[in-house]
Chain A
Amino acid sequence: MHRVQARINGKDYEHEVEARLLLVHYIREKARLTGTHVGCDTGNCGACTILYNGKPVKSCMLLAVQANRAEITTVEGLAGNGLHPVQEAFLNRFAVQCGYCTPGMLLSASSLLESNAAPSEAEIREALEGNMCMCTGYQQIVDAIKYAAETMRASTGKSL
């Protein structure tokens, strides 16, 4: 057993875990944050995407022990005072159907917008290629991310 101390969404968690426990199961079963979903457990679908020390990673590809002293953001931690602009945009552009892919999409998208305030459609598609959605056919998700970029630029007063 190994001791894991992780900071998830700004809150400290401490657990004894088996070495083989996957991070996604740690988040879901131990921290009981069930917004992070499992859509394959083979690293393909992106439903389990979280921010790990600020970077988007597929949490089914990491072990829980790797969360020790790490800073993690899951979908539950995305909203601050009110929804994150990406969350608002997904609602506004109907980029959500069953919602199973949505948490992973939101984290990949928010991370893209951190590094690129005005991504082109091609850049959005490329950045999210590792996230699958079987409901929407993707276009509404691309539209939502473009829209979120616009609202974020407008609110920070940055223009192009």
Chain B
Amino acid sequence: MSRKKPGEFQVVNHSVAREDGVAKVTGRAVYASDIRLEGMAYAKLLRSPFAHARILSIDASEALRQPGVIAVLHGNNLQGIDPYYGHAVKDHPLLAIGKVRFLGEPVAAVVAEDERSAYEALESVRVEYEELPGVLEVDAALADGAPLVHETSYAGGSFRGFDDPGSMKASNICQEVHLEWGDVAAAFAQAAQVVEGVYYFPMAYAYAMEAYVSIADYNDSGLTVYSSAQHPFIVRHDLAGVFGLFLNRVRVVVPFVGGGYGSKSYTKIEPLTAACSWKAKRPVKLQLSVAEAMLTTRNDDARVRIRTAVDREGRLVAREATIHLNTGAYAENSPLVARKAANRIVGPYRIPNVKVDCCAIYTNTVPASSFRGFGATQVTFPGESQMDELAEKLSCHPVEFRRKNLAARGESIHPGLRPLDADLAGDIAMVVQALETDKPLSKGHGRAVACSASDAGSDPVTSTIVHVYADGSVSVMTGSTELGQGSHTVLRQIAAEEMGVELQKVRVIGPDTAVTPFERSTGASRTTTLMGRAVLEACQEAIVQLRDMAAEILKTAPENLILERSGVAFQDRRLSWQDVLRTFFGLSDCSIIGRAYLRKVGDLALLPVFWEIGCTGVEIAVDAETGRICLERLVTVGDVGLAIHPAMVEGQDLGAATMGLGIGLYEELLYEGQQLLNGNLLDYRVPRFSDLAPKIDLLLVQNQDGRGPYGAKGGGEGSLNPIPACLANALYQATGVRLRRLPLTPERVWRALREQRNKGDNVGH
């Protein structure tokens, strides 16, 4: 089948109106926090004041006597359900059982007629603790004889599953990943140049303006949950496990979501909310505050010891890294983050000898999980910092040095994985041109270009149904979540393009696990590629049925019909899909369904589904007096195969790069002892209007080289990954100061500049 090229599409590849636009600008868009069910009660949580403590007793009798209180749940009254969940490791009790593992962990939930009564009754729940020595960072957690965050192993979820549940645990290691090819020792021994260093990636919170919220209704017909979850089907899986229900008895509905960025991946407060409803026998709403959301999840902060070697010709010959991830109190998605960090530290380069040891480590801190770009962000900073460090040693321009080592399209960067499906050399050339790297730099300014490649798309299990109606309208049933990224608009465009109808006639429904077919998740930049392709295939399947119906109507063989946009032609007759359905069924309001499912076979057998490219450039100005870094210029490349919606791809790239700016310059969750110091928006600094670069170029590359519809592949995370390294490399260019710890706060930069002045030389840090 010949493939349409940009310029030949009717709906796709155009920046059409957003499907959710009008609802969102008029205030009519419904988010989970806006939902109010008949008879709904409200839950509030009592949280642990200790990082690590045994729970000696819980007395809820007084709380139960408070006005309006319906039920109090705690670790000692959950008999009848399996209170542990976790898609990677089932280590997470929905309320602390036996002991608490981080300060802020939910210990009890009070359900009352209204939020205020629930809140006020919290202080009458009496909990006696015996404080235990804790481990607050990775070195303490790895020390001999360290206190254990978890004493036993748990059953594995879908990702892991090789544990021996119930066996004693001997360490705080949650997950280890080892990667090795070639002969690293020999390569380092023969190398012409080696750089080596330790880099720190900060603990950060992917601030979604809508904090976690869910509403659960447990009754005789099953469990219904409305939630701000990114992955409703994984939430369903976990809920089915907790309550011992069949999958068809658990319904998870996701209305509009107020931002996710990974923080709403996987199961969060849904099991607890559902347990509240189960206990109270009422629908229950649990709405967290932002401060509570910051006690619910965060990214894995990382310490990366890494060395990289080149030969005399400036070719990369070896990379060796040890990555320590601070995973916090529960595994959540960190085992997968560990896997991705190990894979992604190679970057988009040809490196013949590689050895990576990556370890996700339990500590008594807020549990870490997904964060936009996960794994890649933590390791692209050290990897791309070292590319600039090596280029300097070789007296080679950093861009030239990268060019020399970039894998070409079709070349393998990772044995066993799909070869690279992008033209990174082309991407870099575009960034270099837009950044005008040939122009002289003002004093105190620095420029840098960096790139990354992430094995993206996750497990390609995706399905959809498309309803084609006799009045010419079409509905797409999708399990993908609309987080703001625009997935519902993109899916609508694809259906309109394939069925040959106006955009307004296509409706996108879901996700609602009771009615929309299975979709593994909405993450890893997969939706356009996988769900988009499923929608396209479902439309084509519907068209085959419609053609067969038309053949019957026209009393000829299907092969004799000529497929046209929105119908078929035969000799001098033309039948639209509408005509076909009306004639075939003899009714004007009937419909048929087209369906499609994808799985790991055929051209999707090899993982990753695609390599998500990051390629960005910055120019910064450094104020030597204050240490403040200002972003003067930003260039991103959306190497997305085909931009189904160009303006939204640009929006994703700028949004992602801005998150990179936040982590690069300001964002860091700080602990003092057991206490999270800045777990609120007053003290946790995120990017604002004033941080915006005066000059921004958002470039698109459309080589149609993905496995998604029309050659599309995903985006939305790539432009985040290289930004912190860009900033650190530009800082070095501007000042000669090399910082290996993020964020590059004014204080850190100022101190480094002062130290440099005192030393009177250019030695890095």
Nearest B-chain residue to A131, judged by Cβ: B689
Q: Which of A42, A47, A139 is close to B682, meaning CB atoms less than 8 Å apart?
A: A42
Could you tell me which residues of chain B, from 653 to 685, have a CB within 8 Å of some CB in chain A?
654-655, 657-659, 680-682
Q: Is the CB of A98 within 8 A of B209?
A: yes
**Are the CB atoms of A91 and B25 closer together than 8 Å?**
yes
Interface size bracket, B side:
35 or more
Q: B289 in the interface, Cβ–Cβ < 8 Å?
A: yes
Interface size on A, residues (CB 8 A): 51
Within 8 A of B (CB), among A74-119: 74-76, 78-79, 83, 87, 90-91, 94, 96-103, 106
B681 touches A44 (CB 8 A): yes
Interface residue stretch chosen among A29-37, A51-59, A63-71, A151-159: A29-37
Contact residues in B for A34 (Cβ distance below 8 Å): 27, 30-31, 33-34
In the complex, A142 Cα to B34 Cα: how many Å?
A: 28
Which of B480-488, B544-552, B584-592, B601-609 lies at the interface with chain A? B480-488
| A 97-150 contacts with B by CB, 8 A | 97-103, 106, 124-126, 128-129, 131-142
CB pair A79–B486 under 8 Å, yes or no, is no
Which of chain B's residues have a CB closer than 8 A to the CB of A134?
207-209, 259, 261, 655, 659, 686
Give A37 to B688 CA distance when docked, in angstroms.
18
Q: Is the CB of B654 within 8 A of A140?
A: yes
Could you say which residues of chain A place their CB within 8 Å of the CB of B15? 94
* B227 CB, min distance to chain A CBs, angstroms: 15
- Assess whether A99 is in contact with B258, with CB atoms less than 8 Å apart: yes
- Are B27 and A100 touching (Cβ within 8 A)? no
CB distance B651 to A99 under 8 Å? no
Q: Which of A37, A96, A131, A135 contacts B18 (CB 8 A)?
A: A96
CB pair B647–A94 under 8 Å, yes or no, is yes
C-alpha gap A90/B17 in the complex (Å): 11
B258 contacts A37, CB within 8 Å? yes
Is B261 a contact of A103 with CB atoms below 8 Å? no
Complex alpha-carbon distance, A35 and B31, angstroms: 9
Q: When the two chains form the complex, which single residue of A41, A90, A140 contacts B25, counting CB atoms closer than 8 Å?
A: A90
Q: Does B29 contact A (CB under 8 A)?
A: yes
Residue of A nearest to B684 (CB): A44
Instruction: Decide if A42 touches B210 in the complex (CB within 8 Å).
Output: no
Task: Decide yes or no: A45 and B681 within 8 Å by CB, A36-B27, A136-B651 being known contacts.
Answer: yes
Interface string of B253-291 (1 = CB under 8 A from A): 000111111000000000000000000000000000110
Tell whether, in the assembled complex, residue B18 and residue A125 are in contact, meaning their CB atoms are under 8 Å apart. Answer: no
Q: Contact at A125–B689, with CB atoms within 8 Å?
A: yes
Residue in contact with B290 in the complex, picked from A40, A91, A137, CB distance below 8 Å? A40
How many Å lie between the Cα of A97 and that of B210 in the bound state? 13
Nearest B residue to A43 by beta-carbon distance?
B682
A8 to chain B, nearest CB (A): 12
- CB contact list, B662-721 vs A, under 8 A: 680-682, 686-690, 692, 696
- Give chain A residues whose Cβ lies under 8 Å from the Cβ of B261: 134
B24 pairs with A96, CB closer than 8 A: yes
Closest Cβ of chain A to B64, distance in Å, is 23
Residue contact B27 to A139, C-beta cutoff 8 Å: no
List, in ascending order, chain B residues with CB within 8 A of A103's CB. Answer: 27
Residue B22 at the chain A interface, CB threshold 8 Å: yes
| A94 near B648: Cβ-Cβ < 8 Å | yes
Quick check: A129 and B209 within 8 Å, CB to CB? no
10 A–B contacts from the bound complex (CB under 8 Å): A41-B289, A76-B27, A83-B22, A91-B21, A97-B655, A99-B258, A100-B259, A106-B25, A134-B261, A140-B654
- Which 10 A-B residue pairs are closest in the complex by CB-CB distance? A35-B27, A98-B484, A99-B24, A100-B258, A97-B484, A137-B654, A137-B658, A75-B27, A39-B209, A34-B34
Tell me the A residues contacting B by CB distance below 8 Å.
Answer: 18, 28, 33-42, 44-45, 47, 74-76, 78-79, 83, 87, 90-91, 94, 96-103, 106, 124-126, 128-129, 131-142
